Structure 1
Amino acid sequence: MTYKIAFFDIDGTLVNEVKEIPQDTVDAIRELQATGVEAVIATGRAPYFFAPIAEKLGIDSFVSLNGAYVVYKGKPIFHNPIPRENLEALVGHADKNGHSLVFEGSSAFYSNTEDHPHMLDSVRSLRVDLPGYDPDFWKKEDVYQAFLHCAAEEEHLYEGAVPNLRLIRWHKSAMDVLTSDGSKALGIEALLKLVGIAPEEAVAFGDGLNDKEMLQAVGLGIAMGNSHEELKPYADYITSHVDEGGIRKGLQYAGLIK
């Protein structure tokens, strides 16, 4: 199979634990781009969380917010915001349980608490600025994703309590909140349809629980060596650790670079 496009998760895939892009990864992406194969970011992050990374890699197309907001060559092409009635149910239930929320729009994000420790812990782990404070942001702007801040042992409080929403843990103190049909695969499908590339002609790299659908939606799904153990069964190939040439080795396995 000759692959025509490659999708890359960010955290644990393009960047390591200290949120740095290994130089070998930068070089491998540039080699890929030199062949004419397009590199696309596919991440749970919002666009304002990864602008410097995209700029450094020369990437202007991305599937962001776990597939809810997609941009191709700098132009938005797909969006799937969370319905306000679902957000209202989430806000009420989280408030009852004393759990903080962060609402992510396409260009800004806001929290409904100012200094909740779980919120501070999770957002700071991304090494980005803290959100603004606006408990009513979700009433005024489209929200593509939310962070729900609770511990793993509290997840059961939300089972069946927040209809039409999907929760995926990404941090010990936080989960992503998406639409029930939300996933990176949904955004990838929209982008591939636009550019006229079949899913079988695409490659995807990931390491987290939110990458399961993405790895299955393409012709070659590659899991990083440092991947969550529950992701690895969904991959066609497991490459090395992000800090051990994982991107380069995966692209070589795909026959995309030498």
Structure 2
Amino acid sequence: MSYRIVFFDIDGTLLDEEKRVPPDAAEAVRQLKASGVEPVIATGRAPYFIKPVADELGIESWVSLNGGYVVYQGKALHELTIDRSDLEKLVELADRNGHALVFEGREWYYANREGDPFAFDAVESLKVAHPGVDADFWKKEAVYQVFLHCESHEEQVYEDALPALRFIRWHSKALDVLPKNGSKAAGIAALLDVLGLTKEEAVAFGDGLNDKEMLEYVGLGIAMGNSHPDVLPYADYVTTRVEAGGVRNGLIYAGLLKD
């Protein structure tokens, strides 16, 4: 198969535990671009947290917010937001349970309370600027994704009460909340359709629970060696860890780089 486009997760795939791009990964992406194959970021991160990585690697296109906002060479191609009635139910339930929420808009993100320790720990792990505070942001602006800050034993009540939403854990104290039909795979499908490419012509790299559908959907799904164990069954191939040449080795396996 001749692959024409490659989708890269950010955290744990392009970025190591220190949130840095390993030099070998940066060089691999540069060589990939030089060969005429398109690199695209596919992440749960919002657009405002993609730019530093995208600029470093010379990537101009991304599937962000777990498929909620797709950009190709600077142009928005696809958007999926959370219905306001579902947001209202989520806010009410989180208030009853004493759990903080962070609403992710297109331009910035906002917490519904200030100084929540769970929200602080989760955002700190991303090494990004902290959110603003606006409990009513969801009433005024489109929301693509929400951080729900609770522990794993507390999340089932939300899944039971809010069937129109998906809950994907990415931190011991945080979950992504998105529309039921939202996923990186759905965002990738929308982009491929615009570009006139088939899923068989696509490769994807990932390591987290929000990468399962993406890895299964594309022609070649590559899991990082540092992946969550539950991700591995969805991949066609498991490469080495991010800090051990994972991106480069995966691209070699795909036949997109020479050993």
| Structure 2 portions without partners, runs of 5+ | none
Q: Is the 8 A contact 1:86 1:163 kept in 2?
A: no
Q: Which digits, 9 at most, give the CA deviation of each residue in 1:82-120, with x for residues without a partner?
A: 000000000000000000000001111000011000000
Query: Which residue number corresponds to residue 143 of structure 2?
Result: 143
Q: Secondary structure at the match of 1:160?
A: helix
For residues 203 and 127 of structure 1, what CA distance do their matches in structure 2 show?
27
Q: Secondary structure at the match of 2:203?
A: strand
- What is the identity, as a one-letter code, of the residue corresponding to 1:211? D
Query: Which residue number corresponds to residue 170 of structure 1?
Result: 170
Give the Å deviation of 1:159.
2.9
Give the Å deviation of 1:156.
2.0
Query: Which residue number corresponds to residue 186 of structure 2?
Result: 186
For residues 217 and 59 of structure 2, what CA distance do their matches in structure 1 show?
21
For residues 73 and 145 of structure 2, what CA distance do their matches in structure 1 show?
22
Query: Which residue number corresponds to residue 107 of structure 2?
Result: 107
Query: Which residue number corresponds to residue 254 of structure 1?
Result: 254
For residues 49 and 147 of structure 2, what CA distance do their matches in structure 1 show?
14
Give the Å deviation of 1:50.
1.8
Give the Å deviation of 1:157.
2.2
> TM-score, structure 1 length as denominator?
0.99
For residues 186 and 193 of structure 2, what CA distance do their matches in structure 1 show?
11
Q: Which digits, 9 at most, give the CA deviation of each residue in 1:195-225, with x for residues without a partner?
A: 1111000000000000000001100000000
Give the Å deviation of 1:142.
0.5
Q: Is the 8 A contact 1:206 1:227 kept in 2?
A: yes
Q: Which digits, 9 at most, give the CA deviation of each residue in 1:11-41, with x for residues without a partner?
A: 0000011101000000000000000100000
For residues 51 and 120 of structure 1, what CA distance do their matches in structure 2 show?
22
Query: Which residue number corresponds to residue 208 of structure 2?
Result: 208
Q: Secondary structure at the match of 2:170?
A: strand
- Report the identity percentage: 62
Query: Which residue number corresponds to residue 245 of structure 1?
Result: 245
- What is the identity, as a one-letter code, of the residue corresponding to 2:197? I
Query: Which residue number corresponds to residue 53 of structure 1?
Result: 53
- What is the identity, as a one-letter code, of the residue corresponding to 1:33? K
- What is the identity, as a one-letter code, of the residue corresponding to 1:69? Y
TM-align CA RMSD? 0.6
Q: How does 1:45-124 map to 2 (within 5 A)?
A: 45-124=45-124
Give the Å deviation of 1:163.
3.1
For residues 99 and 163 of structure 2, what CA distance do their matches in structure 1 show?
17
Query: Which residue number corresponds to residue 12 of structure 1?
Result: 12
